[in-house]
Chains A and B, each alone.
Chain A
Amino acid sequence: MSEQPQFSIKIDQNKYLPEGGREVHAVVSVESTGSPTGVSQPASAAEVIIIDTSGSMSYPDTKLRAAIAAAQVAVDTLRDGVFFAVISGANTAKMVFPQQTTLVRADATTRQQAKQALSRLQAQGGTAIGSWLRLADQLFDAHQEGIRHAILLTDGKNQHETAEELDAVLYRCTGRFVCDCRGVGTDWEVAELRKVSSALLGSVDIVADPQGLVADFQAMTEAAMGKAVADVALRVWTPQTAKLRFVKQVMPTVQDLTGKRTESGPQAGDYPLGAWGAESRDYHICVEVSPGEVGKELRAGWVKLVVPGAAGAEDEILATGNVLVQWTDDEAASTRINPRVAHYTGQAELADAIQEGLQARKDGDEDTATARLGRAVKLAEEAGNDEITSLLRKVVDVVDPATGTVRLKKNVEKADEMSLDTRSTKTVRTRKGEG
C-alpha cells in the first residue's frame, strides 16, 4: 500500500463537568482522504458475490433474473487483478465461478466466464445463510492480507439451519471479511440480515423491487473497489478507574460496537471499523470517570486509529485524538451541550424508537407502537433526517411532528414497513439549517 489515504481524527465534546461529574460524551469524527488518483491501488483485494438460488427466487422468476443481472454487473465492476468468486446459496453453498474452491484474478476472460456461469443459474432448494458464509470464509482464507469484501443477496428467511448454526458461523467469520447484505422482495427477515451485516461490519438494505438490484450491486462493488485500507480499528485507552460505557458508530449508520472490543494493551481495547476508502464516519464514545477536583484536567479517552500489525509487526497508528474532562465550578461551562453529541444521541434513539415501535406494532401493542413511532417522528424532524421522516409517514399519519403526535396507518405495505425497519439506523450529519 504505497499511497495510503490520509486519516484524521476530530473530537467534538464539552469537556467541562460539574464538581462530582462522572460521565463524558464525545463524537469522534474519522476522515480519510483518498490517494490522489486511482492509479495506485492497494496490494490486493478479494471479492465474493453470494447469490441466493433457493426455490423462492423463481417466484416470480424476475427475482432470479434480476439477481443474475446484478451479479454480472458487479463482476464487470471488478477491476483487473482483484481476486474473486461467485457462490450460489441454497440448502448448501456451491461454487458458480470458478468451479474449484478458490479465488481467481479478474481479467477480461475470467469476467466473461463468470458471467456465463451466472446465466446458467437455476433456483432450487432452501435457505441456509450460514453455510454460504462458511464457503466465503474458506475462499478468503488465503487472502487475509488485503481488502476482503462479500455481497450477500437473499430473498428469504434462514429456514434450513438453526439460529445457533448461523451464530456460530458469524462468530467464526467476524473480522475475516466485510459483508454487505441485501434482501430482495419482502419475504426475508430484517432482524436476521441486520445481525449478519452488523457482525460482518457491512450494510443491510432492502431492494423491494428486483429492478433496483443492478444499480445497487454496481454501487456496492464500486465502493468495495474504492477501499484502500483493510482492518482499521479504533483503539480506545481509558484511565484505570474509568469505565468505557459505549462505543457506537453514529454516521453513516448507527452501529453499536461496544461488544466488539478486543483487548489491545494496558487499559486499551480495539473496536473494528472494517475497510476504508476515501470516506468519513462518526463515532460516539461515552466514558464514566472517577470525579476529580475542580480545575483538574483528565484524559478520559485516548483514541487512536490503528491498523494492527500482522503477528510480530508493529501496529500502524494513523491518527489520534483526546477525549478530555475538566471539572469546573462554572455552571455555564458544565451545562453547555455539545450540538454534535446531542444530534447523534437523538439519532441513536431514533433508530431504537423505530425498531421498538415496529416490533410493538407486529405484536399488536398499538399504544407502545404509537408512542414509539411518534417519538421517532419527533426525533427525525429534530435531526433533519428527511429520508426517515418520509419512510415514517408511510407507516403513521402524522398529526403534529413537533410533539410526535401520530396515528398508526391501518393498511401498510410490507415493503414500506421493512424499508423503515432496515433504514432506521441511517443517520444524517447535521440538522436542517446547520453547517
Chain B
Amino acid sequence: MRACPNCGEGVFEGEGFCEACGHPLTAEATAAVQAGRVAREGVTAKVLPAGRPGTRPTRRTEPKSPRPACTECGATAIDADGYCEHCGMRQPAERDHIEIELPGSVAAGASDRGRRYARNEDFLALAAHSGGIAAVVCDGVGSSPHPDDASRAAAETGVAELAARFGSGAAPEEATCDAALKAAEAVAALAESPSDAPSCTYVSALTYADPATGTPAVTVGWVGDSRAYWLGGGGSDAASEQLTQSEQLTQDDSWAAFMVAEGALTEAEAEAHPNAHVITAWLGADADEVRPRVRTFSPGGPGAVLVCSDGLWNYAPKPQDLVAVLAGAACDPALDPLGAARTLVRFALEAGGRDNISVAVVPVAIGTVAPDPVTPNTEHAP
C-alpha cells in the first residue's frame, strides 16, 4: 500500500483515484481529469464497480494535513488524545460528525453525535451498484453494550451484501431481505453472551431501474424504528406542490406503531406515551428471529429517498415536516443530496440534538415524469 500524494490516505495498486480526496493517481486518471471527463468516469470504474462488496464512498472531510487545525481556536497542535494543546477543546472524534458522498453526487449522507450523547452510536453506509444505490442506516440501541460497534457492523455488512446480492442478479426484495439477515448475523456475532448483546436498528434502501419497465424503483427493508421516506417533487413545473407527495415508506417496529395499528391509541396518544420509543424488533444476539420487513415502490416523479435514524425524525416525524425543512433552506434533495443531508442534520441539532442523528439521501432521477405519485407495489413477506 502506498500513500496518496495529496492527502496521505493509503491507496492500492491499480486505483486510478484516491478514495479519500479524489486525487488522480495514474497518468490515465490525470489525463481523464484534464480531458474534462473529470473524476466521474475514472472514479465510477474504481469506486463503483457493480456489486463490489465493501465499496467505500468518498469521505467528505477535508484532506488530512499533517497538522490538523483545532475546530475551536484554529491552533495546529492536536495531541494524541484528541485535545487541542492550545485551548484544550476535544476535537470531534471521527464518528462525531461524518459526511459521505458518492462520486458524482449520486447519494450522500451525514451522521452526527448530537448534543447529548458522548459518542455517535449511529452508522450509515452507502454503496453504488450497476443500476443505482444501496443505503443503510443503523441506530445502536443505547441500553445494550457497545451499540456503536453493532450499528457499524450492521451498516457495513448490510450495504455490502445488498449491493453484491443485487449486483449478482438477486431480486431487489430478496437482496434486501438477505442483506438485513446478514447484518443481523454480523451483529449477533459481536455478543459475548445473550445477556451482553450489542444491538441496533436497521433500515436499507435500494434504488434501481425496474427490469421489466425500465422505470425507477425503490425497495426498502427495515428492523426497528429507523425510517425511510420518499421526498417527491423537484424539477417539475410546480415544485412546491410536488413536494407534498412525499411519504413515509417504512412502518416502525415500535410499541407506539403497534398500539396505533391495533387501534388502541391514536398517533398523538402513542407518541406522548413514555413507551413511545420502545422498539419491538432489532438486530442482536438477544433478538427474536429477525424478520426484516420489505416494501417496493415506484416513484411517480423525480425525488429522493431519505433514510434516517430517529435522531432526525423525532423532530420532524411527518414527511411534510422534512420537506418543509428542506424547502426552508432552499435545498432540493434530488439535486444536492449532501446539502439535504447536512440541512436535516443541522435542523435536528438546532432542535435539541437529544439523540445521534443520521441521514442518507439518494436522489432518484426520472426520464419522463410519470403522472402517478409514489405507489407501493408489493409488500414482500420474508
Interface pair B88/A238, CB less than 8 Å apart = yes
- Give chain B residues whose Cβ lies under 8 Å from the Cβ of A330: 116
- Give chain B residues whose Cβ lies under 8 Å from the Cβ of A241: 87
Q: Which residue from B83, B87, B89 sits with its C-beta under 8 Å from A302?
A: B83
Interface pair A299/B88, CB less than 8 Å apart = yes
SS of B interface (majority): loop
- Give chain B residues whose Cβ lies under 8 Å from the Cβ of A328: 116
Interface pair A295/B88, CB less than 8 Å apart = no
- The answer to whether the Cβ of A139 comes within 8 Å of any Cβ in the partner chain is no
**A295-B353, A322-B81 are contacts. A242–B115 as well, Cβ < 8 Å?**
no
Interface pair B83/A295, CB less than 8 Å apart = no
A269-305 toward B: CB 8 Å interface, digit per residue (1/0)?
0000000000000000000010010111111101000
- The answer to whether the Cβ of B90 comes within 8 Å of any Cβ in the partner chain is yes
Interface pair B89/A298, CB less than 8 Å apart = yes
- Give chain A residues whose Cβ lies under 8 Å from the Cβ of B89: 239, 292, 296-299
- The answer to whether the Cβ of A122 comes within 8 Å of any Cβ in the partner chain is no
Interface pair B116/A298, CB less than 8 Å apart = no
Assembly CA distance A377 to B118 (angstroms): 42
- Give chain B residues whose Cβ lies under 8 Å from the Cβ of A262: none
Interface pair B87/A239, CB less than 8 Å apart = yes
A201-232 toward B: CB 8 Å interface, digit per residue (1/0)?
00000000000000000000000000000000
- Give chain B residues whose Cβ lies under 8 Å from the Cβ of A297: 89-90, 118
- Give chain A residues whose Cβ lies under 8 Å from the Cβ of B353: 295
Assembly CA distance A326 to B83 (angstroms): 13
Interface pair A300/B88, CB less than 8 Å apart = yes
Q: Which residue from B88, B115, B118 sits with its C-beta under 8 Å from A239?
A: B88
Interface pair A299/B86, CB less than 8 Å apart = no
Interface pair A295/B90, CB less than 8 Å apart = no
Size of the B side of the interface (Cβ < 8 Å), in residues, is 17
What is the CB-to-nearest-CB distance from B259 to chain A, in angstroms, rounded to a whole number?
A: 29
Which B residue sits closest to A287, measured CB to CB? B88
B196-237 contacts to A (CB < 8 Å):
none
- Give chain B residues whose Cβ lies under 8 Å from the Cβ of A237: 85
Interface pair A299/B116, CB less than 8 Å apart = no
Interface pair A294/B115, CB less than 8 Å apart = yes
- Give chain B residues whose Cβ lies under 8 Å from the Cβ of A322: 81, 83
Q: Which residue from A266, A298, A329 sits with its C-beta under 8 Å from B90?
A: A298
Which A residue sits closest to B86, measured CB to CB? A240
Which B residue sits closest to A239, measured CB to CB? B88
- Give chain A residues whose Cβ lies under 8 Å from the Cβ of B86: 239-240, 267
Interface pair B116/A296, CB less than 8 Å apart = no
What is the CB-to-nearest-CB distance from B142 to chain A, in angstroms, rounded to a whole number?
A: 15
What is the CB-to-nearest-CB distance from B173 to chain A, in angstroms, rounded to a whole number?
A: 41
Which A residue sits closest to B90, measured CB to CB? A297
What is the CB-to-nearest-CB distance from A291 to chain B, in angstroms, rounded to a whole number?
A: 12
- Give chain B residues whose Cβ lies under 8 Å from the Cβ of A238: 88
Interface pair B115/A299, CB less than 8 Å apart = no
A240, A328, A330 — which one has the most chain B CB atoms within 10 A of its CB? A240
A313-330 contacts to B (CB < 8 Å):
322, 326, 328-330
Assembly CA distance A267 to B79 (angstroms): 14
What is the CB-to-nearest-CB distance from B349 to chain A, in angstroms, rounded to a whole number?
A: 9
Interface pair B115/A295, CB less than 8 Å apart = yes
Interface pair A242/B88, CB less than 8 Å apart = yes
- Give chain B residues whose Cβ lies under 8 Å from the Cβ of A326: 118
Which B residue sits closest to A301, measured CB to CB? B88
Assembly CA distance A113 to B114 (angstroms): 75
Assembly CA distance A29 to B288 (angstroms): 46
Assembly CA distance A242 to B73 (angstroms): 14
B84, B89, B114 — which one has the most chain A CB atoms within 10 A of its CB? B89
Q: List 4 additional A-B contacts (Cβ < 8 Å) besides A266-B85, A292-B89.
A: A239-B88, A240-B87, A296-B90, A299-B83
Can you list 22 contacts pairing A with B, beta carbon distance less than 8 Å?
A237-B85, A239-B87, A239-B88, A239-B89, A240-B87, A240-B88, A241-B87, A289-B88, A295-B113, A295-B114, A295-B115, A295-B116, A295-B353, A297-B89, A298-B87, A298-B88, A298-B90, A299-B81, A299-B88, A302-B88, A328-B116, A330-B116
| Chain A interfacial positions (CB closer than 8 Å to B) | 237-242, 266-267, 289, 292, 294-300, 302, 322, 326, 328-330
Can you list the 3 inter-chain pairs with the closest CB atoms, starting with the nearest? A239-B88, A295-B115, A299-B83
